[in-house]
Copies of this chain bind each other. A is one copy, B any other.
Amino acid sequence: MVTKTLPAPNPGPTTDRGEATRRHILDVAGYAFAEHGYRGISLNDIVRESGLTKGAFYFHFPSKEALALAVFQDKQEDWIGQTMAALMQCHRAIDQLEAMLEVGCDILERDVSVRVVGRLCLEMASQEELQPRLLPHLTTWFEMTAQLIRRAQEEGDVRPDIDPKVFAETIVSAFMGIEHVSDALSNFEDFRRRIDGLRALVMAAIAIR
């Protein structure tokens, strides 16, 4: 497991200072929420950890909810960006499907704060006002995965009789379940091994080989 040293707040030239401060807060909050969860840490504690004044902090994020949503969005974009880059390395959709699972392991091993995604997703999902903001995230993964399965069917690598949408949603849900099981049982130490198990199950179910 690789831990990452937090970058010191480095404001840079005046025009970029706002962006650098925002970035610094997102990084600090990412680690804080990943470690303590949403309800397990107060906004005051995060302000303190950031080393910023309350004024500077609240200018960017006026509430804990706004901050958590921004962190969630930020890590999600990171994850999707890295996934897209990995997919471009593969030609066939079935290999891209496997690469997608692989990148999930890489990213969760490389950057502890990415675990915030699963944690926040669960905790915030039980707060009705935040639910609508989190759901597009799930839908994005559902659709990306369904598209890969559909293309793999066209390419003749995946059985034509399976329903891409149903299997895609099952695979994404299973991935999330494994995140939580691995978190609870081994603090993510066994995550890659568990995802290998999911990949074996999925390939046994869908691949024509």
Measured CA separation A138–B205 after assembly (Å): 24
Q: Of the candidates B37, B39, B119, B184, which one forms a contact with A134 in the assembled complex, judged by CB atoms under 8 Å apart?
A: B184
The 6 closest A-B pairs by CB, nearest first: A177-B177, A174-B174, A205-B205, A125-B184, A204-B205, A173-B177
Does A107 interact with chain B (Cβ within 8 Å)?
no
Measured CA separation A37–B126 after assembly (Å): 8
Given known A176-B177, A177-B175, A201-B167, contact A184–B40 (CB-CB < 8 A)? no
Q: What residues of B have a CB within 8 angstroms of the CB of A175 in the complex?
A: 177
Q: What residues of B have a CB within 8 angstroms of the CB of A125 in the complex?
A: 180, 183-184
Binds B, one of A5-13, A80-88, A192-200: A192-200
Task: Tell me the smallest distance from the CB of A196 to a CB of chain B, in Å.
Answer: 8
As for how many copies of this chain the complex holds, the number is 2
Chain A interface, number of residues (Cβ within 8 angstroms): 44
Q: Of the candidates B40, B180, B206, which one forms a contact with A177 in the assembled complex, judged by CB atoms under 8 Å apart?
A: B180
Does A94 interact with chain B (Cβ within 8 Å)?
no
Q: Of the candidates B40, B138, B177, B198, which one forms a contact with A185 in the assembled complex, judged by CB atoms under 8 Å apart?
A: B138
Chain A residues within 8 Å of B, Cβ to Cβ: 37, 39-40, 119, 121-123, 125-126, 131, 134-135, 138, 159, 162-163, 166-167, 169-181, 183-185, 194, 196-198, 200-202, 204-206
Q: Are A169's CB and B194's CB within 8 A?
A: yes
